[in-house]
């Protein structure tokens, strides 16, 4: 997602905060965010700061300008939308060099004020909720922060899982070579996941399961499933040698090697269901899960 400089007419002599609110009709929070990040300039590329007075009859704001690669929102409502994100797509750019992320599609379809409400890992596919304006983002963000929602995932796991299991193992950083790797045990943050087996593929020796995270810890579903001996197919961090995990994190792991080591070219974890209430209405939304079902049956 590239930065572009957009020019706006303003009134000379006004304080910068007043001009952004009155002349350009920006929100207070967006204005402060742009000022604090040094993204508002005059024609000499000198950044405006809080309290500055407008020096010219126009100013320039460095803004993200989203572009599309054909991904469309799955559902759109008045205040929010949902994307059915494919695997291997980051939600947000991790640097100015990131060529494409889901935020590109969000801003392309809904404009500068739209933003994601929550995150899922780049390799995890499935439902992602997007607020279309500041009030919706704040309200839906508070809902997620307060865990006033229900969600579940589908996963393909190694081996046969016969019955429902409730996993209450605590989760903490492994504190070894792989910095992002977590571990389940008796110490760390309380974590609870319910795993429901749905169907077993004897030929592949994999089970399709529904995973319901009651808490929301980093890598929770992946860690909990690995801890009970049912690693998610395609996981390049859990259940593999450190050398492979390091290569994956450094983006140097060969695709064929990964497939041989982990069983797949991607992590088979899919955000399948989201339920929440907004403005006195309850929404129960399922994703399209064709990819994971296809991988299970083939």
Per-domain residue ranges of the chain: 3-64, 75-146, 152-270
DSSP one-letter code for 15 = B
* Separation of alpha carbons 10 and 22, rounded Å: 9
Tell me the C-alpha distance between 295 and 202, whole Å.
14
The pLDDT of residue 245: 94
The CATH classification of domain 3-64, taken from the options 3.30.70.100, 3.40.630.10, 3.40.50.720, 3.10.290.10: 3.10.290.10
> HSE-up of 94 (CA within 13 Å, CB side)?
4
* pLDDT at residue number 96: 66
The catalytic residues are 121
CB 246 within 8 A of CB 177: yes
Beta bridge partners of 3: 64
Q: Do domains 3-64 and 152-270 have the same CATH topology?
A: no
The correct answer on CATH 3.40.640.10 for the domain covering 75-146 is no
pLDDT for the residue 65: 78
Question: Which residue numbers in the chain have pLDDT < 50?
Answer: 1
Residue showing tokens 């508070």: 142
The CATH code of the domain at 152-270 is 3.30.2350.10
- Helix H or strand E encompassing 197: strand 193-201
Instruction: Return the structure tokens found at 185.
Output: 């045990």
d(CA 287, CA 223): 23
Mapped onto helix, strand or coil, the DSSP state of residue 112 is: coil
CA neighbours within 13 Å on the CB side: how many for 248? 28
Contacts of 39 (CB under 8 A, 6+ apart): 47, 61, 62, 63
Cβ neighbours for 229, distance < 8 A, ≥ 6 positions apart: 159
Distance CA 296, CA 275 (A): 25
How crowded is the C-beta side of 69, counted as CA atoms within 13 Å? 10
β-pair partners for 172: 183
Contacts of 56 (CB under 8 A, 6+ apart): 10, 12, 42, 43
């Amino acid at each position: 997602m590239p930065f572009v400089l957009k020019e706006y007419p303003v009134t000379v002599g006004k304080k910068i905060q007043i001009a952004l609110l009155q002349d350009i009709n920006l929100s207070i929070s967006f204005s402060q965010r742009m000022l604090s990040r040094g993204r508002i300039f005059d024609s000499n590329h000198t950044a405006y700061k809080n309290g500055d007075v407008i020096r010219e009859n126009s100013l320039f704001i460095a803004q993200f300008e989203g572009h599309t690669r054909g991904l469309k929102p799955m559902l759109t409502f008045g205040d929010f939308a949902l994307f059915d994100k494919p695997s291997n797509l980051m939600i947000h750019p991790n640097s100015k060099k990131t060529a494409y992320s889901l935020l590109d599609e969000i801003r392309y379809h809904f404009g500068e004020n739209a933003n994601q409400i929550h995150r899922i890992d780049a390799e995890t596919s499935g439902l992602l909720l997007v607020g279309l304006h500041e009030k919706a983002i704040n309200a839906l963000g508070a809902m997620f922060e307060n865990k006033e929602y229900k969600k579940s995932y589908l996963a393909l796991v190694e081996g046969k899982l016969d019955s429902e299991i409730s996993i209450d193992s605590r989760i903490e950083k492994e504190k070894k070579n792989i910095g992002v790797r977590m571990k389940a045990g008796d110490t760390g943050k309380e974590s609870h996941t319910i795993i429901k087996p749905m169907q077993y593929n004897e030929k592949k020796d994999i089970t399709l399961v529904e995973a319901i995270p009651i808490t929301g810890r980093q890598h929770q579903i992946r860690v909990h499933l690995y801890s009970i001996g049912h690693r998610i197919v395609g996981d390049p961090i859990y259940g593999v040698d450190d050398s492979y995990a390091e290569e994956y994190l450094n983006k140097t792991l060969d695709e064929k090697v990964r497939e041989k080591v982990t069983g797949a070219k991607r992590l088979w974890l899919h955000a399948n269901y989201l339920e929440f209430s907004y403005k006195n209405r309850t929404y129960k939304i399922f994703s399209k899960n064709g990819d994971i079902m296809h991988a299970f049956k083939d």
